[in-house]
Amino acid sequence: MLLRLSRLFMVAVLCCLACPSPGQTAEKIAPPDLAALENIFSEVVLQNSPWPKEDLKITNFSVRPLAMSLPVGGFDYRIIQKPNDSRPGKKNVSAAILKDGKEQGQVNMSGDLRLFGMVVNATKRLNRNEIIGNEDVTQRRQDISMLDAGLIQDPKQAIGQKLKVSLPAGAILYAQSIDAPPLVNRGERVTIMAKSQAIQITAPGEARNSGALGEMIRVKNLTSRREIQARVLSPGVVETEF
C-alpha cells in the first residue's frame, strides 16, 4: 500500500512540474522538440571531430530535466558546457534555452559518441610465426569506439606479415601483433654489397642472424673471414659501407 502511494505521489509531482506557470505559453517536449535538442547536441559534439561524420553516431541521447518545457514557436540557445575532447564515449552538453533574448531555463543533454570503421579479422586460428595469407583474414565494419590503438583496418597491412602471437578465429588484428617477415635467415648464404662514393663491390657472405627489410644483422664475409654489420636490402642481399 505504501509503495503504491509513493508511486502516485511521484506521478503527481511530475505532472505539476510539467505544467506551465500562469501566463507562460509553453509545451512539453514532443518528439520534434527532442529532435531539435538532439541536433544541437550532435552539432556541439561533432564540431571538432577529426573523423568523417558518416563514421560517427550518437546513441542513448537523453535530456534533463524530464519535465523540461520549451517555448512555442521556436527558441534560441546558448551553450554553457561542452565536452572537453572529441574522443568517442559519454558526452555531456548543457545549454540555456532563450526566447526573445531571455533565458527560459537550462537543459542538460547527454549521449554516447560512437565511432564506426573497418577491422581485419582472422578467418581461422593463426599460429605464432605464421605468415599471413590472403585467405587468413577478412574485413568488416563495426563499432571501434573502445578498440585499442594500432588497429589494422586494411587487409593489405597484414597480408605477408609474420604473426608475433597466436590468434583464435575471429580475432581482431593489431599492428603490435604482427612483424615484417625476415628476408634473410640465420645461416643463409647472402650477397654482400659494399660501396663507397666511387665504387661498389660484392662478396659472398653468411648471415649470423635473421633480419627483415632494413634491419641491421651480423654477416660473415666468406672471402675475408671477417664478421661485419650489414643492412638487409632484399631476399639474400645485404649492404654495408667501406
Cα–Cα dist 96/75, whole Å: 10
| β-bridge partners, 107 | 95
Contacts of 211 (CB under 8 A, 6+ apart): 182, 183, 184, 217, 232, 238
Q: pLDDT at position 90, please?
A: 96
Tell me, rounded to whole angstroms, the distance of Cα 70 from its chain centroid. 37
pLDDT for res 16 = 41
The label of the residue with cell 509503495 reads: 3
Distance between CA atoms of residues 7 and 22, nearest Å? 27
- Of the pLDDT bands very low, low, confident and very high (cuts 50, 70, 90), residue 210 is very high
% of the chain surpassing 70 pLDDT: 86
Residue 104 near residue 75, CB atoms below 8 Å:
yes
Strand pairing category for 216-221 and 237-241:
unpaired
Q: What is the identity of the amino acid at 135?
A: E
Task: Answer whether residue 32 shows pLDDT above 70.
Answer: no
Tally DSSP H helices, then E strands, for the chain. Answer: 2, 14
Q: Look at the block and give the residue holding cell 505544467.
A: 19
Kindly list the structural domains of the chain, giving each domain's residue range(s) and its CATH number in brackets, ordered by start: 26-115 (3.10.129), 116-179 (3.90.1210.10), 189-241 (2.30.30.760)
* Residue, of 3 and 107, whose pLDDT is higher: 107
Confidence at 35, pLDDT banded by 50, 70, 90: confident
Residue 168's pLDDT band, with cuts at 50, 70 and 90, is very high
Confidence of residue 195 (pLDDT cuts 50, 70, 90): confident
What's the confidence (pLDDT) of residue 50?
A: 92
Q: What is the mean pLDDT of the chain?
A: 85
Q: Comparing 3-12, 20-29, 63-72, 93-102, which segment has the lowest mean pLDDT?
A: 3-12
| Average pLDDT value for residue range 181-193 | 93
pLDDT tens digit sequence for 135-153? 999 999 999 999 999 999 9
**What is the tens place of the pLDDT at every residue in 37-86?**
999 999 999 998 899 999 999 999 999 886 667 777 788 999 999 999 98
The burial of 61, by beta-carbon neighbours within 10 Å (0-12 exposed, 13-18 middle, 19 or more buried), is given as middle
Give 108-119 pLDDT, tens digit per residue.
Answer: 999 999 999 999
Q: How far is CA 126 from the centre of its chain?
A: 24
Strands, E, within the chain: which ranges?
Answer: 26-28, 56-64, 69-71, 76-81, 89-99, 102-122, 137-143, 162-163, 178-179, 189-195, 200-207, 216-221, 227-234, 237-241
In this structure, what are the phi and psi dihedrals at residue 209, rounded to the nearest 5 degrees? -155, 165
- Conformational region of residue 187, where left means phi above 0, alpha means psi within -120 to 50, and beta covers everything else: left
Phi-psi category of residue 2: left, alpha or beta, with phi > 0 → left and psi -120 to 50 → alpha: alpha
Residues 83, 69 contacting (CB under 8 angstroms):
no
